[in-house]
Chains A and B, each alone.
Chain A
């Protein structure tokens, strides 16, 4: 995984965590803001899932190479 992509991925996960913390912190949900946060989080989750899938595939390739030797 390239450094830049790694950082992006980490940032995305941090962003998601922040949104989750925000939801946890709300005693009374602001619908307008909640909708916006859901929108942001959904986009970040989608990107993270794609990136994680890539990482997982790369890992599987490496593992296969090592174990095959």
Chain B
């Protein structure tokens, strides 16, 4: 049996293995900036040292990440770096590669916040005249927040049942590392069909809300194609992203109230209108009932009148028939006329006079033979 062969690495192979191992875990490192070199390329090379010892770590932050962090690095700043160490193969130099840098200490944070606020204010990014109105009766909502935690549940639970379509993009919301995640989420929703963007998170200290005081993020919000509502709980200093938003609310629940309001108002109006409509319909029904009644009484009255006239005429017809002298002819009476005039007595009649005698079924022309009284 032969001895196992001992593996012999080349320098580059070994550095690669070491770098793979070193990259496995994200590390947070705190220290004071003791030296800064900003290269033409935009990358920033700096040294971070302990405040109470001489230990120094060579560090670098690449241009993109540096820009995103919105910190103008200076010697003496106390920073927290998030990243991993790395050995640079061509020189064998060990350095810390920071993905994010954040200011440490309320004082430094406050100073940075005030400076940036002043700068953005001067640019007019918080000006009321550039605020857009939240459209009414919206139903396509983009939401950026952490999928974990109570905030999204509060938001969903308080959002009324008005047929909303919520497009949620999960994002980190804590610390400086959240900036990258938030910007990516904004880019994702920029491509979606939404009517309003809602950025929400629960309350926190200036330190935990650092990401929301980031210049790059503020500019993303300002330039977002649809109105933006920002609901971030805060203590004293309003996050700059909230100041830049079209509407700023103090809590995620308040954001839902804002969105629900136009729907609730519309429903209230519909309710009022339907009440009015009901009253109108009832009124019409009553009028119709009255009309029907009056129509029917009018009809009845007219029918009675027609019947009365009909009876009157019938009565007249009967009376006339009864009084008609020719009716007597059937009983054997006759009407005698002389020269067209009815003869009522023999006076004035003479022998030879022509008389017309009307009987029930015809006339007889006759001549007087003799007159007797």
Contact = CB atoms under 8 A, between A and B. Distances in A.
B264 interface: no
Interface stretch (B14-22, B165-173, B218-226, B307-315): B307-315
Contact of B306 (A17, A34, A45, A52): A52
A62 B306 CA distance: 14
Given A38-B325, A45-B313, A52-B309, A20 B342 contact: no
B335 A59 contact: no
B316 A16 contact: yes
B325 A34 contact: yes
Interface string B310-335: 10110011011001111000000001
Contact of A23 (B306, B309, B323, B335): B323
B75 to A, nearest CB: 96
B341 interface: yes
Interface residues of B, number: 21
Q: Is the interface of A mostly helix, strand, loop or mixed?
A: helix
A49 interface: yes
Contacts of B341: 32
Interface residues of A, number: 25
A62 B316 CA distance: 28
B299 interface: yes
17 contacts: A13-B312, A16-B316, A23-B319, A31-B325, A31-B342, A31-B344, A32-B342, A34-B323, A34-B324, A35-B326, A37-B320, A38-B323, A38-B324, A41-B316, A56-B306, A63-B299, A66-B299
Interface of B: 295, 299, 302-303, 306, 309-310, 312-313, 316-317, 319-320, 323-326, 335, 341-342, 344
Q: Which 3 residue pairs spanning A and B have beta carbons closest together?
A: A41-B320, A38-B324, A23-B323
